[in-house]
Amino acid sequence: MSIGILLWLLAKSLSSPIGFAEAADIVDGFFVKFILWGILTALAYHIVGGVRHLIMDLGYFEELESGAKSAKVAFIVTGVLSLLAGVLVW
């Protein structure tokens, strides 16, 4: 559903100059910015987790201890990306 929201906003903004102004007005509210930040944070978590699993498929960080450390690193990277997304949105 979140990708649908982003695609709808993209289609609206690319439809015409008036559509771009309407999309800009929609995104101007705090609640919508908060939702967009949440969507971007979830997307960052998904991407970081996917990269972690791809690295694990290559045979790295498969043990219990190193897997736990890589999970913590993934959470930290997601946190940094979440902060960057917040700066981008606001």
| CATH code, domain with 61 | 1.20.1300.10
Nearest residue to 82 via CA among 32, 51, 40, 31: 40
Q: Which residues contact 69 (CB under 8 A, 6 or more apart)?
A: 61
Other CB atoms within 10 Å distance of the CB of residue 41: 19
Query: What is the pLDDT tens value at each position of the chain, 90 positions in all?
Result: 888 999 999 999 999 999 999 999 999 999 999 999 999 999 999 999 999 999 999 999 999 999 999 999 999 999 999 999 999 998
Per the structure, the count of domains in the chain is 1
**How confident is the model at residue 42, as a pLDDT?**
96
7: its two tokens = 């695609």
Domain limits for position 12: 2-89
Gap between the Cα atoms of 11 and 78, Å rounded: 28
**How confident is the model at residue 77, as a pLDDT?**
98
Gap between the Cα atoms of 33 and 90, Å rounded: 7
Q: How many residues does the chain have?
A: 90
Q: pTM of the entire structure?
A: 0.84
